[in-house]
Amino acid sequence: MADDFIFDFLHMEVVDFVQRTTNPDEKDKVISKLEQMGYRVGQSLIEKFTRDSPRFSSELDIIKFVCKDLWNGVYKKQVDNLRTNHQGVYVLQDNKFRLLTQMSSGKQYIESAPRYLAFPCGLIRGGLANLGVNCVVTAEVSTMPACKFQIMIQRT
């Protein structure tokens, strides 16, 4: 349905807006602002997602939920590959990440890719934070539209 595309349009415009209104010297601030917005959205979204689901039994269970249900809801597909070192680091690989598919399939525009991944990173972090998992989420792209999200769980 067309109503997923409206999110894509809005997201493009959000990225553009933040980029436009932030001082060019503070490149990191663009990323952190977008990440912050994603965090807010993730926090609220996860509440709606998990409203009727049973309590999670383990951390892995939570991550699996993110890979399947959250991804399906937001990006209309599942994560293609999930890897973990069993010490709190998870790598989610998506071979056709929705927000990048329209941009390129190769190296072109690779330098602007991080801007389009900050919001999704925040979304994951916000969602997990609301499930009681504190983490740092980073994204990495080598060839678009594939990308990897790394979730590092903080235990302190």
Which tokens hold the place of 39? 């965090």
Backbone angles phi, psi at 15, to 5 degrees: -60, -45
CB atoms within 10 A of CB 126: 22
Instruction: Report the helix count and the strand count for the chain, using DSSP H and E.
Output: 6, 4
The site string for another protein over 48-87 (x = CB under 8 A, - otherwise) reads: xxxxxxx------x--xx--xx--xxx-x-----------
Q: Which stretch binds another protein (CB under 8 A): 47-55, 86-94, 110-118, 129-137?
A: 47-55
Task: Determine the residue type at 127.
Answer: G
CA distances from 83 to 38, 43, 45, 98 (A): 23, 24, 24, 20
Min. distance of Cβ 106 from another protein in angstroms? 23
Strands 147-153 and 135-140: antiparallel
| CB closer to another protein out of 17 and 143 | 17
| CB closer to another protein out of 74 and 113 | 74
11 scored as a contact of another protein (CB under 8 A): yes
Pick from 21, 23, 85, 87 the residue near another protein by CB under 8 A. Answer: 21
Under the rule (CB under 8 A), what is the footprint of another protein? 1-7, 9-14, 16-18, 21, 33, 36-38, 40-41, 44-45, 48-54, 61, 64-65, 68-69, 72-74, 76
